[in-house]
Each structure stands twice: as structure tokens, then as C-alpha cells.
Amino acid sequence: KRTDCNHYIPIPEWYQHENATVAMETRALITWMEKIPFVLGGNLQGGELVVSYPYDMVRSPWKTQEYTETPDDHVFRWLAYSYASTHRHMTDSSRRPCHSEDFNKEEGTVNGASWHTVAGSINDFSYLHTNCFEISIYLDCDKFPHASELPEQWENNRESLIVFMEQVHRGVKGVVRDVYGRGIASAIISVEGINHDIRTASDGDYWRLLNPGEYAVTARAEGFTPSTKNCAVGYEMGATRCDFILAKSNLARIKEIMQKFGKQPVSMSLRRRRIRFRMGHQA
């Protein structure tokens, strides 16, 4: 049985467990996404003429349609619009709808959950479990166009595909290093006011999609003192460079020094318990 990986990606954390009921092709896709630090993604489909952005699953279990925004809703709306607005027909108000839904009021875009809820979509998985921002692009009313129609489909979507790929250069990017210039892997990159973090790649580099504006960006990693910078994202194409150098935290430095002499530092909570124990025996 073949599995549609667009709609059968597991959301819970236990998907990595060896006994998890995950289809072979789905597991292969997950492994691929975790191996390569994708930043922007678009899955191409047919049967409609619209761009759908996450979340795809409603929060209210009793509802089948409900606008469900991500913390990066403003970014996803722009990504969707950047494709739809440059498509030959997607935002044409004079065209007939493919089916019963008319997406012209949203300029050729739609929030997935407000359209029809989907549990376990690749868009939701990408956002929740990777650094990638992914949307679904429905190229044409015909779900399975004839081969003779493909040249026209290419012309309809060519400019949109190029413009969409260019959006990967919006936001901030940089490298998180220690004081010796070594990249710090899996450092957390946070943006003030947006409840969605990303992590650095194996060499310490990161890419964070953002709309134009000024942002307080923080880099943190275990054993290091966090660092915050104000990073301005402009309207011109090209991500803003925002590098970080993290110094070891005091406790981490003490551990390094004491480990050289075969000793471990005693935490304050443990030290307090030992003092109370001694005082109790002295009494």
C-alpha cells in the first residue's frame, strides 16, 4: 500500500521510536528532512488553484474548519502570497473557481485548517519538528493533467516558482561560534515575540525566515551564556547577517578547570544538603 507523505506524517514526539507505526516511505522522508537543514519547502499538488499554508490541523477537536495560525503566520501568509500573486491565473478575479470554494477573497491563498483540517500534514511536521517553513502549492484545477498540458502548466507556474525560491533569502542568517571560533551545533535561535525557535546546523550556521522589521534575536546553547542582538531585516533581497559568539557559562568554565584535576564541582543544592546534614549531626 502506497502512502501519501503529504498527509501521513506523524506529529507526536514518539514518531522516532522503532515501534512507531510509520510507513517506510514516510520514515525515509523524515530521515531526509532531519539530515539536511532545509529552510523553505513547497510541495506541489493538483486539483485546485491555491496556495495553502499551516497549520493544517485545527486546535478545536470538534471543528472541521477553523483558522489555525502558527506563531509565524505573517511569514507564511507572505510566502503563500509571493507565489499566488506571480502565478498567471491564481489571483485572476475573473476566472471561474475550480470547485465550490472561491479563494480570490484571500488572493489565492488559504490557511490549511480553515479549508479542511488534516492531521499529520507535512507542512505541520516541517514547522513543528524541523527548521523548514513549508507550504502546499496547488498548481491547477485538474488533479492529473494530460502530458500535452504540461508545457502550459510550466509557463503558468515558472515565474511563481522562481519568486518563491527567492524568498529563502529573507530574514536573518549567521553562525553561532564559541570564543575559539568553533561552530556550535544545535544552538537555539529565538526571536522575541515569536514563539518558535530553530536550531543551528552541525557547523553552527543558521537561517531564520522573517518579514522586514527589527527583531531581538537570541542565541543560546547548553553550557554557554546566551547572547542577544538587534537584527534589522530590510525589504531588499538578501538575508541580514547576524552572527553570535557565545562564552562558556561560569559553571561550565569551573567544570572544565576542575575536570583537569579529576574533580567535579559541587552544585549549590547538593552543598546545602551536605551542610544541613553536618549541622544535624553536630547538634
Range of the domain at 68: 13-169
Cα-Cα end-to-end distance for the chain:
74
Nearest 10 degrees: Cα torsion 173, 162, 38, 233: 20
Q: Which of 169, 197, 222 is the last residue of a domain?
A: 169
More confident residue, 97 or 240: 240
Tell me the CA distances in angstroms from 150 to 98, 140, 153, 160, 257, one per residue in order. Answer: 18, 11, 5, 16, 66
Model pLDDT for residues 268-281, shown as the tens digit of each residue? 666 677 777 777 66
**Cβ neighbours of residue 126 closer than 8 Å, sequence gap 6 or more:** 33, 38, 41, 132, 133, 134
Residues 205 and 223 in one domain: yes
Q: How many CB atoms lie within 10 A of CB 85?
A: 15
d(CA 100, CA 76): 24
Residues 151 and 184 in one domain: no
Assigned C-alpha cell, 185: 551545533
The CATH number of whichever domain residue 192 belongs to comes to 2.60.40.1120
Model pLDDT for residues 99-152, shown as the tens digit of each residue? 888 888 889 999 999 998 888 788 999 999 999 999 999 999 999 999 999 999
Model pLDDT for residues 43-69, shown as the tens digit of each residue? 999 999 999 999 998 888 888 889 999
Residues 76 and 119 in one domain: yes
E strand map for the chain: 40-45, 48-53, 109-111, 133-140, 172-178, 188-191, 194-199, 205-208, 213-220, 227-233, 240-241, 244-246
d(CA 196, CA 177): 22
Q: Which of 128, 145, 169 is the last residue of a domain?
A: 169
d(CA 118, CA 99): 19
In one-letter notation, the amino acid at residue 101 is E
Assigned C-alpha cell, 215: 527583531
Residues 177 and 161 in one domain: no
Residues 97 and 182 in one domain: no
Residues 108 and 226 in one domain: no
Residues 136 and 203 in one domain: no
Residue 5 pLDDT exceeds 70: no
Confidence band, pLDDT 50/70/90 cuts, at residue 252: low
**Closest C-alpha among 114, 126, 96, 108 to residue 209:** 126
Alpha helix (H) residue ranges in the chain: 24-35, 73-84, 112-115, 122-129, 150-166, 250-259, 268-282
**Grid coordinates 475550480 are at which residue?**
98
Confidence (pTM): 0.82
Q: What are phi and psi of 31, to 5 degrees?
A: -60, -40
Model pLDDT for residues 64-93, shown as the tens digit of each residue? 889 999 999 999 999 999 999 999 999 988
236 falls within a domain: yes
Residues 31 and 101 in one domain: yes
Give how many domains the chain has, as a whole number: 2
**Closest C-alpha among 190, 52, 59 to residue 131:** 190
